[in-house]
Amino acid sequence: MSLEAVTHAVNVRREGNVLVTLDQTLLPNVTKYLDLTTAEEMWEAIYSLRVRGAPAIGIFAGYAMAILARQIPESDFDTFYGEYRRLSDYLNSSRPTAVNLSCILKRMDKVALENRDKSREALLEALDAEAKAVHEEDIAMCRKISEYGLSLLKNGDGIITHCNAGPIATSRYGTAQGPFYLAKEAGVDIHVFVDETRPLLQGARLTSYELTKAGVPCTLICDNMASLVMKQGKVQAVFFGCDRIARNGDVANKIGSSGLAIIANHYGIPVYSFGPSTTIDFQCPTGEQIPIEERPQNEIKELFYEKPMALPEVACYNPAFDVTDHSLLAGIVTERGIAYPPFSESFAKLFPEQMKEADHV
């Protein structure tokens, strides 16, 4: 598979009234696309991480609501909207941490309300157009984010990345992985150390898969090896994505990101989080208000083993995310530029309209 084939892969797309998505739970050994038509199938795909990555979930949500709206029987707007909101709230319950899901659902909801006085077909076409716009905007944002991220790299750099923030998790190129692909295109010599990322192994299953297929030099390491690799001088930066960014710059990302940032700060290595503006929750003051999703216990004990690796009665704690304190970050890379501390001031300069809107809610 070529670099272009990887970076231009389409993870989520709409074909008529069918939502087609790559089943990420089967990678890297099986490539299978799912055809989804019902709300229950779409909810399960998000919850089970068949589709994952905050931007990809947002794209998925836009197409999902455009498709589901067409399944609502013809009626007056109030009856239609009641069912529409029920479906939207149902999808939103699948993943509480990734803000893109709720953000895009609210955006689609706004379009429905703005077209309440139009014909049914005009309303449905408006929802179709908005879902497509969400997808196209993400493609543009990922390219911009990747370009800003590339500016942080130089020949000979080693970078650690955690979880998966590449094309599979977005629309194209990715966020935190995007700079690696642009570096390959530009002939910048880098080496990526990929945390396997417990407990769901997105780094091992997805990130190392994408980078290897694209020809980007990478080495897979266990999460608890990061400190040694840094101490040995092999790492000059940490890049990871995000599922939600608070207004003060606290970042929720896959569990283990916070610990990685703490270790990097000990060694004086800069840590950058990457995400589009849709991942910034301007109404969330700090990371303390970000809900942390907990996953089933068997993901730790059984999921990737031939036999259980712990006794059935052993209790497990399986949070899917942690929050990296803003004080540990050197910058947050967005489609409008790199935000530097203090982040609330940087966000106000980069995203004045969103900040103003949040202040008036």
Q: In which region does residue 131 sit, left (phi positive, over 0), alpha (psi from -120 to 50) or beta (all else)?
A: alpha
The hierarchical CATH code for the domain 147-359 is: 3.40.50.10470
Neighbours of 55 (CB within 10 A): 33
Read off the tokens for 100. Answer: 């893109």
pLDDT by position in tens, the chain (length 361): 788 888 777 789 999 999 999 999 999 999 999 999 999 999 999 999 999 998 999 999 999 999 999 999 999 999 999 999 999 999 999 988 778 899 999 999 999 999 999 999 999 999 999 999 999 999 999 999 999 999 999 999 999 999 999 999 999 899 999 999 999 999 999 999 999 999 999 999 999 999 999 999 999 999 999 999 999 999 999 999 999 999 999 999 999 999 999 999 999 999 999 999 989 999 999 999 999 999 999 999 999 999 999 999 999 999 999 999 999 999 999 999 999 999 999 999 999 999 988 887 6
pLDDT score, position 6: 84
Q: Which residues of 314-339 are buried (b: 16+ CB within 10 A; e: fewer)?
A: eeeebebbbbbbbebbbbbbbbbbbb
Model pLDDT, residue 9 = 77
Tell me the sheet residues that pair with 239. Answer: 161, 272
pLDDT at 106: 96
**What pLDDT shows up at residue 4?**
84
Residues in the chain: 361
Cβ partners under 8 Å of residue 134, min gap 6: 58, 59, 62, 104, 107
Residue 197, helix vs strand vs coil: coil
- Select which of 243, 250, 281, 322 is catalytic: 243
Please confirm, yes or no, whether 243 is among the known catalytic residues: yes
Smallest Cα–Cα separation from 239: which of 278, 191, 279? 191
Q: Where are the beta strands (DSSP E) in 135-266?
A: 157-162, 190-195, 218-221, 237-240, 244-245, 251-254
What's the confidence (pLDDT) of residue 39?
98
Q: How far apart are CA 285 and CA 207, in angstroms?
A: 31
* CA–CA dist 286, 192 (Å, integer): 30
The single-letter code of the amino acid at 323 is V
Determine how many CB atoms are found less than 10 A away from the CB of residue 224. Answer: 12
CA 321, distance to chain mean position in Å, is 12
Residue ranges, CATH 3.40.50.10470, the chain: 147-359
Query: Could you give the CA distance from residue 118 to residue 45 in angstroms, rounded to a whole number?
Result: 32
User: What 8-state DSSP symbol labels residue 190?
Assistant: E
Per DSSP, what are the bridge partners of residue 212?
none
**DSSP reduced 3-state for 198:** coil
CA distances from 238 to 128, 272, 307, 328 (A): 38, 6, 34, 11
CA distance 298 to 309: 10
Fold of 3-143: Four Helix Bundle (Hemerythrin (Met), subunit A) (1.20.120)
Say how far apart CA 23 and CA 92 lie, in whole Å.
20
Buried b (16+ CB within 10 A) or exposed e, 121-134: eebbebbbebbeeb
* pLDDT, tens digit (0-9, with 9 covering 90-100), for 54-74: 899 999 999 999 999 999 999
What are the strands of the beta sheet with 190-195, ordered from one edge?
218-221, 190-195, 157-162, 237-240, 271-274, 331-334, 337-339
> Position 291: which residue type?
P
pLDDT mean across residues, the chain: 95
Distance CA(339)–CA(121), nearest Å, equals 42
Measured between alpha carbons, how far is 192 from 211 in angstroms, rounded to an integer?
9
Where in the sequence of the chain do the CATH 1.20.120.420 domains occur?
Answer: 3-143
DSSP 224-252: GGHHHHHHTT--SEEEE--SEE-TTS-EE
